[in-house]
Amino acid sequence: MYSAITGWGMSVPSRILTNADLERIVDTSDEWIVSRTGIRERHIAAPDESASTLAIRAARQALERADLMPTDLDMIIVATVTGDYTFPATACLVQDALGASCPAFDIQAACTGWIYGMVMAHQFVTSGTAQNVLVIGVEVLSKITDMSDRATCVLFGDGAGAAIVSASETLGGILGWTLGADGARPEQLYRPAGGSRNPLTRENIATHDAYINMMGSEVFKFATRTMGTAMEEALAKANLTAHDIDLFIPHQANLRIIEAASKRLELPPEKVFVNIEKYGNTSAAAIPIALCEAVEQGRVKPGSKLGCVAFGAGLTWGALALQWTAPVD
């Protein structure tokens, strides 16, 4: 049994925050942001939009493309660090809104979350336990971003991407994967307050500890070290090499990181999908959003071999070697 992507969807908030807008908020410049990150604008949730709002929209699109009813779903997995509540899981809110009746739960591997979710879906589907699993990556990082910290506020955006992983007898889908984590340095990228170690207090809100805290250059070095190796591991499990990839869809965190990974894998720019200029880093949503846009732009066709790789807080990493099988017209 193979695990094929049969549905895909995305949703981003309508409000756009440009680099020019940020120039009015912090001491930065469009030139610095574009040259250091590749980002020109990002979408920011409205006060009444949350992770579930975006996740539900992306999920409905994915169901429609897969030509499935919500009741056809056997499981809903939502990867997020910015769920609507600490509990219950955002996946449960999505389940109710869709009218599905399957198990639903959240997982958390930061920017690698959607890859982790896809591997879980692959396990359930190829073991014969589930027929259709909805995997959503969604993030509303703007709600935990310090808008006075120029080192982080220029990087992140909000959005959701969804995929339906279905059992299939046709060769394709997820053919190889790898997952990893190294928890030795959580403070390189974390939200210090708001969990059980440092519950929210007036003091830690005032000291901005309830916002994303990041050692940017450490994360940058980790990402450039890890992405190429992780991608090669997943490809090797599928008996493929980087030369077989038709389209590389990496995590969209920084254009320079994407370029370093592409160079390491010897992939020319035309085989690399980049949309970071429009969305910034949407964390767990970045790869499924990129996948949707790649399909919409005709860059993914039945038979296309795709490589997806992500890294994130934890620190975590993961990669998928995929062969696309769904009709795209």
Residue 251 among the catalytic residues: yes
Shortest Å, Cβ 204 to ligand ACO: 20
Q: Which is nearer to ligand ACO, 19 or 166 (CB)?
A: 19
Q: Dmax over Cα atoms in the chain, in whole Å?
A: 57
Residue 92: active-site member:
no
Please give the residue ranges that form the binding site for ligand ACO (CB under 6 A). Answer: 28, 32-33, 36-37, 110-111, 150-151, 154, 189, 214, 216-217, 219-220, 223, 253-254, 281, 283, 312-313
DSSP of 43-102: E---TT--HHHHHHHHHHHHHHHHT--GGG-SEEEEE-SS-SSSSS-HHHHHHHHHT--S
The tokens for 57 are 């929209």
β-bridge partners, 317:
180, 311
Euclidean distance between CA atoms 324 and 329, whole angstroms:
13
Quick check: is 281 catalytic?
Answer: yes
State the catalytic residue, choosing from 19, 92, 122, 251.
251
d(CA 20, CA 32) in angstroms, rounded, equals 11
The upper half-sphere exposure of residue 11, i.e. CA atoms within 13 Å in the direction of its Cβ, equals 24
State residue 113 phi and psi, 5-degree precision: -55, -45
CB neighbours of residue 191 within 10 Å: 18
Sheet holding 173-181, edge to edge: 104-107, 75-79, 132-140, 158-168, 2-11, 173-181, 316-323, 305-312, 247-250
Q: How far is the CB of 28 from ligand ACO (least distance, A)?
A: 3
| Pairing between β-strand 305-312 and β-strand 247-250 as defined by DSSP bridges | parallel
Q: Whole-number minimum distance, CB 113 to ligand ACO, in Å?
A: 9
Instruction: Please report how close the Cβ of residue 139 comes to ligand ACO at its closest, in angstroms.
Output: 8
Q: Cβ closer to ligand ACO: 3 or 145? A: 145
Nearest approach in angstroms of CB 249 to ligand ACO is 16
Give the whole-angstrom CA distance, residue 287 versus residue 251. Answer: 6
Nearer to ligand ACO, 55 or 155 (CB): 155
Which residue out of 19, 43, 102, 111 is catalytically annotated? 111
Catalytic residue numbers, as ranges: 111, 251, 281
